[in-house]
Amino acid sequence: MTDTGTHRRTPPATFTSRDPATGRPLAEHPVHGPQDVARAVERGRAAGARWAALPAARRRAHLLSWKRLLASELDAVAASVAAETGKPLRDAELELVLTLEHLSWAARNAGRVLRGRRVRTGLPAANQSASVVHRPLGVVGVIGPWNYPVYTPMGSIGYALAAGNAVVFKPSEYTPGTGVLLARLFETAVPGFTGLFTVVTGAAGTGAALAASGVDKLAFTGSPGTARKVMEVCARSLTPFLAECGGKDAVLVTADADLDAAADAIVWGALGNAGQTCAGVERVYAVRAVHARLCDRVVERARALRPGTGPDAAYGPLTMPGQGDVVRRHVEAALTAGAGAPLGGTDARHGGADAPGAADPAGGPFVAPVVLVDVPEDCPAMTEETFGPTVSINAVADVDEAVRRANASRYALGAAVFCGSRRQGAAIASRLRAGAVSVNSVLGFAAVPALPFGGSGDSGFGRVHGAEGLRAFTAPQSVTVRRFAPPVDLTSFATPAAAKARAVALTRWLHTRR
């Protein structure tokens, strides 16, 4: 195995997770290789067979026990998320709140969504009854990111388990402890199913081993570049693949929008979690009549926010060490191309005395808010995922131009519309190339478990959450049951040719009449 772990160059037996604000070591975790992964998949297969054989109501009861334990251990899980990502504790708590809603929905609705249903047979098969049932796939591999280390992978883990599968989960190498904690709480809440939900830890090599392990589906969340690599591995064994990747989400603001509400939501959607949100706000298109007033309101609110640690910090550090360079490159390229920066700019890195990273020779992992305006559309700040606390606000002539520009991205994950009329907002939403759209809020869809979530283009494909997210971890099985002999049996050599010809003539007549 060629896993490099997080912080060492030679293949280690363990790797160290760290506090991203200070670099302080948090814990050592094993680097699991192909053999460990194979064992986890094998155990999952055995436990999964028993899990799949349970009545849906029993699975629901077990998953709701897990949900209750997660709720009672919310403080411990949120503390783990905060320690590993650096995000403020209250943001980690919000992540848990959303996760509990989703797990509850998946547990309660899997039986209803996936139960067998009768379908009509049509004339040639009128002697049959027909039904379709959604059967679990077996073992689902889940590879997760670090930015929402509970909410995001649980969109696959919770729904895959609810659909009757076993799960082997490889959390991000930045957040392994949170993954291990999730599995430990599962084992406590659901005794007797050892191996049903296992966590393997490590970096790219462990993820690649999971993709190559023969799991029955691989649900990946991360960047599109990694998705391509993982998909290539899956392609070798035709392992089905689900890709939840990055975004470059746009907010459209019409002339009659409530600008205070829009500014408030844009600031939260762009700067919350230090901008490290797949469906966070990265681009804003405001009609020219309100552009300046919107910018003023955004700048006023963003200026008041301080990155850092502790209860007063609006958001934490950039979690990944190299991300500050990406943010700086995007901001500098925009400024060089003629963009304005009413807030922040080339000195985007925060060097305040209370920012622990300020002492870091690279400038520290804290980035103060950056608001850019009039950014040329071909700048990386408009075309690439920035994943930092920045937002670009451009003026457009009208809604048509806003829609055109919003849709001109290679990403298509989420979007938002701020508009005086809810009906017009919904009409604009229907013109947007995005997997999920919020009208008069941002990320409104994330808190509604019944809504499927996912994107297209570089944002990936497939859906998690909702009924579609349950079905994503099943295979439909179609069953026909012959009830009586048909008048003309088209699937028998014994049927006279003349009878078959009459059946063809009847069918032709039926399908040619108006």
Q: Is 85 or 309 the residue whose CB approaches ligand NAD more closely? A: 85
Among the listed ranges 205-213, 234-242, 481-489, 493-501, the one in contact with ligand NAD (CB under 6 A) is 205-213
When asked if residue 203 is in the footprint of ligand NAD (CB under 6 A), the reply is yes
Residues between 395 and 414 that touch ligand NAD (CB under 6 A): 413
**Quick one: which segment of 29-37, 137-145, 372-380, 484-492 binds ligand NAD (CB under 6 A)?**
137-145
Candidates 146, 241, 285, 315; binder of ligand NAD (CB under 6 A) is 146
Strand partners, 169: 142, 199
Residue 511 CB burial class (10 angstroms; 0-12, 13-18, ≥19)? exposed
Task: Examine residue 33 and tell whether it contacts ligand NAD (CB under 6 A).
Answer: no
The pairing of beta strand 411-412 with beta strand 390-396 = unpaired
Strand partners, 139: 166
Amino acid at 26: L
Would you count residue 230 as binding ligand NAD (CB under 6 A)? yes
Spatial CA neighbour of 434 closest among 296, 275, 251: 251
Residue of 234, 278, 379, 419 with catalytic role: 278
Among 3, 360, 385, 458, binds ligand NAD (CB under 6 A): 385
Asked if 199 touches ligand NAD (CB under 6 A), the answer is no
Binding to ligand NAD (CB under 6 A): which residues in 42-101? none
Report if residue 143 touches ligand NAD, rule: CB under 6 A.
yes
User: Phi and psi of 2, rounded to 5°?
Assistant: -115, 30
Query: In the set 226, 407, 421, 424, which binds ligand NAD (CB under 6 A)?
Result: 226
Size of the site for ligand NAD (CB under 6 A): 29
Stretch that binds ligand NAD, among 94-102, 240-248, 370-378, 488-496 (CB under 6 A): 240-248
Cβ-based nearer residue to ligand NAD, 199 or 503: 199
From the CB of 392, what's the least distance to ligand NAD, in Å?
17
Asked if 140 interacts with ligand NAD (CB under 6 A), we say: no
Q: Is 249 in the site for ligand NAD (CB under 6 A)?
A: no
309-328 residues in contact with ligand NAD (CB under 6 A) are 320
Length of the chain: 514
Residue pair 224/278 in contact (Cβ under 8 Å)? The answer is: no
- Quote the DSSP letter at residue 12: -
**Among 245, 298, 391, 402, interactor with ligand NAD by CB under 6 A:** 245
Binding status of residue 223 toward ligand NAD by CB under 6 A: yes
Contact stretch for ligand NAD (CB under 6 A) within 54-62, 77-85, 89-97, 226-234: 226-234
Closest-CA residue to 143 (of 183, 93, 200): 200
Q: How far is CA 5 from CA 144, 159, 175, 184, 396, in A?
A: 15, 29, 12, 22, 46
Closest residue by beta carbon to ligand NAD? 207
228 or 422: CB nearest ligand NAD: 228
Which pair of tokens denotes residue 269? 């959607």
Rg, the chain, Cα only = 26
Listed ranges 89-97, 241-249, 304-312, 442-450: which one lies at the site for ligand NAD (CB under 6 A): 241-249
Please report, as residue ranges, which positions from 435 to 474 form the binding site for ligand NAD (by CB under 6 A).
Answer: none
The H or E element spanning position 466 is helix 466-471
Closest to ligand NAD by CB, 139 or 335: 139
Is residue 148 close enough to count as binding ligand NAD by CB under 6 A? yes
245 is catalytic: no
204 in contact with ligand NAD (CB under 6 A): yes
Pairing mode of beta strands 340-343, 370-373? antiparallel
* CA 355/CA 193 separation, integer angstroms: 45
Cβ(306)–Cβ(342) below 8 Å: no
Closest distance of CB 483 from ligand NAD, Å: 45
- CA–CA distance, 382 with 408 (Å, rounded to integer): 10
**Beta carbon nearer to ligand NAD, 246 or 317:** 246
- Residues ≥6 apart with Cβ < 8 Å to 178: 77, 80, 81, 84, 149, 150, 171
Catalytic option among 84, 244, 384, 385: 244
Q: How far is the CB of 371 from ligand NAD (least distance, A)?
A: 21
Tell me the H-state helices in 115-175.
Answer: 151-162
Is the Cβ–Cβ distance between 370 and 376 less than 8 Å? no
Q: Which is nearer to ligand NAD, 273 or 440 (CB)?
A: 273
- Residue 380 to residues 276, 279, 282, Cα–Cα distance (Å): 16, 17, 11
- The verdict on whether 234 is a catalytic residue reads no
Strand boundaries in 193-322, DSSP class E: 197-199, 217-221, 241-244, 249-253, 281-287
| Interface with ligand NAD (CB under 6 A), residue from 208, 242, 313, 381 | 208
Using CB under 6 A as the binding rule, whether residue 268 contacts ligand NAD is answered as no
Based on the shown chain and the rule CB under 6 A, indicate whether residue 222 belongs to the binding site for ligand NAD.
Answer: yes
Instruction: Write out the DSSP string of 45-92.
Output: HHHHHHHHHS-HHHHHHHHHHHHHHHHHTHHHHHHHHHHHH---HHHH
Residues that bind ligand NAD (CB under 6 A): 143-148, 152, 170, 172-173, 203-204, 207-208, 211, 221-223, 226, 229-230, 244-247, 278, 320, 385, 413
Active site residues: 244, 278
